[in-house]
Amino acid sequence: MLCLQLFYCSIFLYKFIVGAKSVTVKLGILGLGTVGTGTVQLLQEKVGRHPLLQEIEIYRVGVRSLTKPRAVELSPDVITTDLEAIVNDPAVDIVVELMGGIEPARTLILTAINNRKHVVTANKAVISRFGAEIFTAANQAGVYVMLEAAVGGGIPVVQPLKQSLSVNRINAIMGIVNGTTNYILTRMQTEGSDFDDVLADAQRLGYAEADPTADVDGLDAGDKIAILASLGFDGRINREDVHCEGIRKVTKTDITYAAKLGFVIKLLGIAQHLDTDNSQLSVRVHPTLVPQNHPLASINGVYNAILVEGEPIGQVMLFGPGAGAGATASAVSSDILSLVATLKTNTNKPNPLLTCRHQHYSQITPISELVTRFYTRFLSKDQAGVIGKLGTCFGNYGVSLESVVQTGFQGELAEIVVVTHDVREGDFRQALAEIQAMESIDSIPSVLRVL
């Protein structure tokens, strides 16, 4: 009986929403690549999905070439190469930007906003770098910019941070937000392979771009954690203040030693308060030694996961596919439905759970002020007293050592692995610079932070 009552209730609400405004909501979609194609397919396949899909019309689709074969069927009068005409068309209600890249995406988004059109985008680069400009314009125009697909692919994380978790005091957001690097590190861990070999294989399989810089150097993850930090900590983030390190220097040797110490290595995006009064905010991306019993340690392959710590909720982890046509199309379409529901209610009052409410920039604490643990691997000449000299130098800068192990030799060089207790990064780096200058130290191949 309860299920039947809920069914009739949902039908009543649907009729109420669509009855408020019976005309269809017209979409102007910019881009028909992997994500654009997946989104069109999802919107066209309405059976068994939310009834609001019946109220959507794919009115215009902007592409680079009219002759390229398509995996979806669209009327010839729907497809155009004139993207500016789409964002300037008075009939278009929602512009869905799925082109990627900075320009012309940024200009087209701003033009759509100036024409008082709502925007759905999957473009993390534009949002992380020009979010202040875009959201200021959106607030002034009284329209919404939705970006669920910009972070985490199909994982619903943006709307939970804006709505479901909005009453919590967020203390930390951390996660694996780049599937390419997670795939590479997973293969290195399970197979003992070298970085270059796995990267080449990932490119052949389509998991990595021909130019993998944005992924393997942590830039893509930097865009995403900047967006999540802005949502979680209610302040704009200057993307240039986000410290980014990639995985190029992570070796199979480090992965082996990490496992012996009880860790796995993951590229993490981390945003967290560093003090109890929430005045110091750290936003950063870097390879991290994660304890094997930590929730993020078991996230492997191309999957993403985002861990949110807040009060009073505690820890919540969101896990799923971080990329792909279907996953990203799911996120894009959920934003479209939210906007359609808003348009159908026929209200002129903005929804405070959908708008961008923060106007100020958050102060990002320099990486030198971060307090964390470090894993460091040294190659030294085979001389007596090297470990003692390391301990003395670290001690002079207040660096306390949790463990020091001479693990073996690489040729004629002794290999020494050090794990510290919590230490201020600036102090640790000063000690490291002095150690690097020691005659007995050949090199410092690896310096990784420990979660």
**Any alpha helices (H) in 144-297, and if so which ranges?**
158-159, 179-191, 195-205, 213-216, 219-232, 252-260
Residue by residue, DSSP assigns 303-361 as EEEEEEEEETTEEEEEEEE-SSHHHHHHHHHHHHHHHHHHHHTT--S--TTTS----SB
For the chain, how long is the longest CA-to-CA vector?
Answer: 84
The total of other beta-carbon atoms located within 10 Å of residue 347's CB is 10
In angstroms, the CA 195 to CA 185 distance is 8
CA distances from 375 to 143, 239, 295, 312, 400 (A): 48, 27, 20, 33, 12
Write down the residue that tokens 């070439």 correspond to: 65
Cα dihedral 381, 382, 384, 388 in deg (nearest 10):
50
Distance (Å, whole) CA 162 – CA 354: 7
Contact 305, 176 (CB under 8 A): yes
Q: Of how many residues is the chain composed?
A: 451
Which residues have CB under 8 Å from 381's CB, separation 6+? 412, 413, 414, 439, 440, 441, 442
Smallest CA-to-CA distance from 342 within 154, 151, 114, 146 is with 146
Q: Give the helix/strand (H/E) hosting 435.
A: helix 425-436
Q: Are the CB atoms for 102 and 126 separated by under 8 Å?
A: yes
* Contact yes or no for 179/302 (Cβ under 8 A): yes
Contacts (Cβ under 8 Å, ≥6 apart) of 95: 27, 28, 29, 30, 86, 87, 108, 109, 112, 117, 118, 119, 120
Q: Catalytic residues, which ones? A: 224
Name the H helices within 69-123. Answer: 83-88, 105-114
287, 289, 294, 296: CA torsion to nearest 10: 20
**Residue 376, helix vs strand vs coil:** strand
Sign of torsion over alpha carbons 53, 56, 60, 62: negative
Give the Cα separation of 255 and 192 in Å (integer): 8
